[in-house]
Amino acid sequence: MPEAFVITFVAIALLVWLILRRSGDVPVDSFYDPSDGDRQPHKWGYTDTIFEFDGPRSVRVTGSRYPLAGYSMPYFVPFAEEVLGVAITPEEMMPEVPRQEPPPPRVHADFDAALRQTLNDDQVSTDDADRIVHSHGQLSVDEIYRLLYLGALGRVVDIVLYPESEQDVRHIVSTAAGHGVCLVPYGGGTNVSGALTLPQNEERPVASVDMRRMCNILSLDEENLQATIEAGISGKQLERELGARG
């Protein structure tokens, strides 16, 4: 009799768990917390999640995005040292150096004026920090090393443009073609292959075209499982939007 009670109880608990899971109360992918947050400007990831020493030979992950966050990991450093063959100690950590100012932007007045016929002021930036962020990938380790520990990237983009519509993109492309300006599309900036690196000896002005404001789903064909999506949406945004539509 007690066995029957226990089996019934377990079966009901399992059923409730399955119903909650289906209704979304329990995230299907609970491997990490994908909520938005401040991102590292030059590196992959969020500012709330880093490895830090919590003892001379032990590290932990900060924040609460990952299940392992907060746990002291005394075996990680010895493991990494054995695999990499180098000593890892707090004293060996290289401090970041202040960023050097990039060279002045090479944008000419005619190009700038022509752009602003269609683009608003907040769609055009020659801010140094914007230019640097748009001139490297977040996982191209050589670029990040040069930037964080040597202070400079070399050639950086001269201007950053933020189109918000297809019409903006057409205007940017035709204006750049008419003024001999190179365009480099920018999506999430995650590239691992150095594809955002500029040739060091490029003499022409270079404009980064940041697509992230174009992040709409234009059409969704539920029957054929096809969607038309603007080029700047991130995978996470897309997943969230599609999830909200069932």
Stretch that binds ligand FAD, among 29-37, 85-93, 172-180, 192-200 (CB under 6 A): 192-200
Choices 25-33, 63-71, 81-89, 179-187 (CB under 6 A): range interacting with ligand FAD: 179-187
Question: CA angle at residue 164 from 161 to 168, to 5 degrees?
Answer: 70
Determine which residue in the list 189, 205, 206, 233 makes contact with ligand FAD, applying CB under 6 A: 189
Q: How many residues bind ligand FAD (CB under 6 A)?
A: 16
Given the complex with ligand FAD, which of 88 and 139 has the nearer CB atom?
Answer: 139
C-alpha distance across the termini of the chain, in Å? 43
Among positions 148, 184, 229, 238, the unique one binding ligand FAD when judged by CB under 6 A: 184
40 touches ligand FAD by CB under 6 A: no
Q: Does 154 help bind ligand FAD (rule: CB under 6 A)?
A: no
Choice from 11, 19, 68, 195 touching ligand FAD (CB under 6 A): 195
Q: Which stretch binds ligand FAD (CB under 6 A): 5-13, 21-29, 100-108, 189-197?
A: 189-197
Residue in 107, 172, 206, 211 binding ligand FAD, rule: CB under 6 A: 211
Task: Provide the β-strand partners of residue 125.
Answer: 160
* Residue 144 contacts ligand FAD per CB under 6 A: no
Name the one range near ligand FAD by CB under 6 A: 101-109, 119-127, 157-165, 181-189.
181-189
Question: Closest CB to ligand FAD among 124 and 231?
Answer: 231
For 83-92, the CB contacts below 8 A with 24+ separation are: 89/56, 90/53, 90/56
Decide if residue 163 touches ligand FAD (CB under 6 A): no
Burial of 223 per CB tally in 10 Å (0-12, 13-18, 19+) = exposed
> Could you say whether residue 191 binds ligand FAD (CB under 6 A)?
yes
Does residue 157 belong to the site contacting ligand FAD (CB under 6 A)?
A: no
Choose which of 99, 118, 124, 187 interacts with ligand FAD (CB under 6 A). 187
**Which residues form the interface with ligand FAD (CB under 6 A)?**
44, 137, 139, 184-192, 195-196, 211, 231
